[in-house]
């Protein structure tokens, strides 16, 4: 009868308990005893984990059931972005003060008789503007100063026998006021016109001048505002066309320059959006008239 394999039993051996624990067989868990790590693994019943477990129809994590939004992976359609509701988009359309963006200048329906004569039939009118009233600052100041000077001279010459000088002063005052009236009339007939094809400047009473630039030829556009221009809301537009000098390069004293800048840029880059907005405004106007 042979001797047993392994070292002899020594009750004082410090490594005896570790060897016995390492060599102890692992008991197999009965699937009927309770929940384990997954069905088919031999360690108890339970749902098995698949590759798409985190991308199923239900919430993959505990927190997703409360948020109402989860990432869905469709094997056939590929990646699908999450759906954003109209209420969520409404917050993006408002600025920090809670006011929705709006246009300062209304879209005109029809051109004036002054502008209509320069538009061809297939051209779509987008608006016309007179220059800012600051354009008349010089003639207005001259007219006011001439009136004060005439009043002073009339009082000064009243007690003297110089009737001829008074007549000359009055005639000069009429001449100055005639020049002021001419400048006001010239300002009234001076128009900046925008269409879907070009920008135009029309001015002059007796000698008419019409300058234009196609929108497709505009390579650069900017507007400048002085501190006074920012306070009174006017500016100067500078248009560049392929680096060449042209008649319509600098347009001074235009009102609402930021709004006008956006109007021109939108016509250059998003003409379909302009057409859609104008059509919507016309439909709303017809609906209001019908109501």
**Cα–Cα distance, 219 to 222 (Å, whole number):** 11
Name the pLDDT band for 58 (thresholds 50, 70, 90).
very low
| Position 232 pLDDT exceeds 90 | yes
Name the pLDDT band for 87 (thresholds 50, 70, 90).
low
Structure tokens at 194: 């925008």
At 72 the three-state DSSP class reads coil
pLDDT score for 107: 62
**Cα–Cα distance, 88 to 69 (Å, whole number):** 13
| Position 193 pLDDT exceeds 90 | yes
Q: Are 110 and 128 in contact (CB under 8 A)?
A: no
Does the model's pTM come out above 0.75? no
Q: Which has more pLDDT, 240 or 86?
A: 240
| Position 128 pLDDT exceeds 50 | yes
**Cα–Cα distance, 186 to 204 (Å, whole number):** 6
* Paired sense of beta strands 209-214 and 125-130, if any: unpaired
**Cα–Cα distance, 210 to 202 (Å, whole number):** 5
Name the pLDDT band for 272 (thresholds 50, 70, 90).
confident
Structure tokens at 44: 């108890």
211 forms bridges with which residues in the sheet?
201
| Position 60 pLDDT exceeds 70 | no
């Amino acid at each position: 009868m042979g001797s047993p394999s392994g070292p002899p039993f020594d009750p004082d051996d410090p490594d005896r308990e570790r060897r016995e624990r390492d060599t102890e067989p692992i008991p197999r868990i009965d699937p009927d005893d309770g929940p384990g790590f997954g069905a088919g693994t031999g360690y108890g019943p339970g749902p098995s984990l698949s590759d798409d477990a985190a991308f199923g129809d239900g919430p993959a994590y505990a927190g997703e059931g409360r948020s109402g939004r989860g990432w869905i992976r469709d094997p056939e359609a590929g990646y699908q972005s999450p759906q954003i509701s109209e209420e969520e988009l409404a917050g993006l359309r408002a600025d920090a003060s809670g006011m929705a963006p709006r246009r300062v200048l209304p879209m005109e329906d029809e051109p004036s008789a002054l502008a209509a004569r320069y538009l061809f039939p297939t051209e779509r009118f987008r608006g016309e503007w007179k220059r800012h009233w600051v354009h008349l600052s010089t003639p207005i100041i001259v007219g006011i100063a001439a009136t004060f000077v005439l009043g002073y001279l009339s009082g000064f010459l009243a007690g003297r026998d110089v009737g001829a000088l008074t007549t000359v002063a009055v005639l000069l005052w009429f001449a100055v006021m005639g020049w002021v009236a001419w400048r006001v009339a010239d300002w009234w007939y001076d128009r900046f016109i925008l269409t879907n094809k070009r920008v135009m400047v029309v001015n002059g009473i007796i000698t008419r001048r019409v300058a234009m630039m196609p929108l497709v030829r505009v390579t650069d556009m900017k507007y400048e505002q002085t501190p006074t221009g920012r306070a009174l809301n006017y500016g100067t537009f500078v248009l560049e066309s392929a680096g060449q000098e042209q008649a319509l390069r600098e347009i001074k004293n235009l009102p609402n320059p930021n709004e006008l800048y956006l109007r021109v840029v939108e016509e250059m880059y998003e003409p379909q959006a302009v057409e859609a907005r104008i059509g919507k405004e016309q439909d709303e106007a017809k609906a209001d008239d019908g109501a």
